[in-house]
Homo-oligomer: A and B are copies of this chain.
């Protein structure tokens, strides 16, 4: 028996089940927000990340890409769409002119807040109601622990 099989097949099934289940959950929650705002999932993620980046609700393209595990090309296009919708503004950085920063506009701040409210409702009803606040905390903790050794 080699190292490949050491964890038993059950380990792999646990992982695939967790992956599929998490995907179902994330889809269900995001769809709730998408349906009421018309925004695709990636745009919602960008808006919420900027909302959670006080005090100026500003991040660079690469910061957005790193946090969301997106390609920089993808971030360029998401922020293009958000810019055309008037929800964010892109501005070149003064000190390093290679850098482009994305900032929530007042309208974007409002949209992000609305999306956050809708998502919070969904999390409350579909997650907290089933595993409690401590359940969510344990879930987030486990994911973070795996992420740390990155």
Task: Write the residues of chain A forming the contact surface with B, with a CB cutoff of 8 angstroms.
Answer: 3-7, 9, 11-27, 29, 45, 48-49, 52, 67-69, 116-117, 119-121, 123-124, 126-131, 133, 135-140, 142-150
- Neighbouring B residues of A20 by C-beta, 8 Å: 45, 67-69
Given the known interface contacts A136-B18, A146-B25, the answer about A12 and B123 at a Cβ–Cβ threshold of 8 Å is yes
A107 CB to nearest chain B CB (Å): 20
**Given A25-B146, A131-B145, 12 further pairs, Cβ under 8 A:** A4-B117, A11-B128, A12-B116, A14-B137, A14-B140, A16-B48, A17-B140, A18-B143, A21-B144, A24-B69, A130-B148, A135-B145
- Neighbouring B residues of A127 by C-beta, 8 Å: 15, 146
3 closest residue pairs by CB, A with B = A21-B143, A18-B140, A14-B140
A7 with B128: CB separation less than 8 A: yes
A3 to B116, CA, bound (A): 13
A131 to B11, CA, bound (A): 13
Main DSSP-derived SS at the A contact region: helix
A27 with B69: CB separation less than 8 A: yes
- Neighbouring B residues of A21 by C-beta, 8 Å: 140, 143-144, 146-147
Given the known interface contacts A24-B147, A138-B138, the answer about A119 and B15 at a Cβ–Cβ threshold of 8 Å is yes
A144 to B116, CA, bound (A): 25
A124 CB to nearest chain B CB (Å): 5
A30 CB to nearest chain B CB (Å): 9
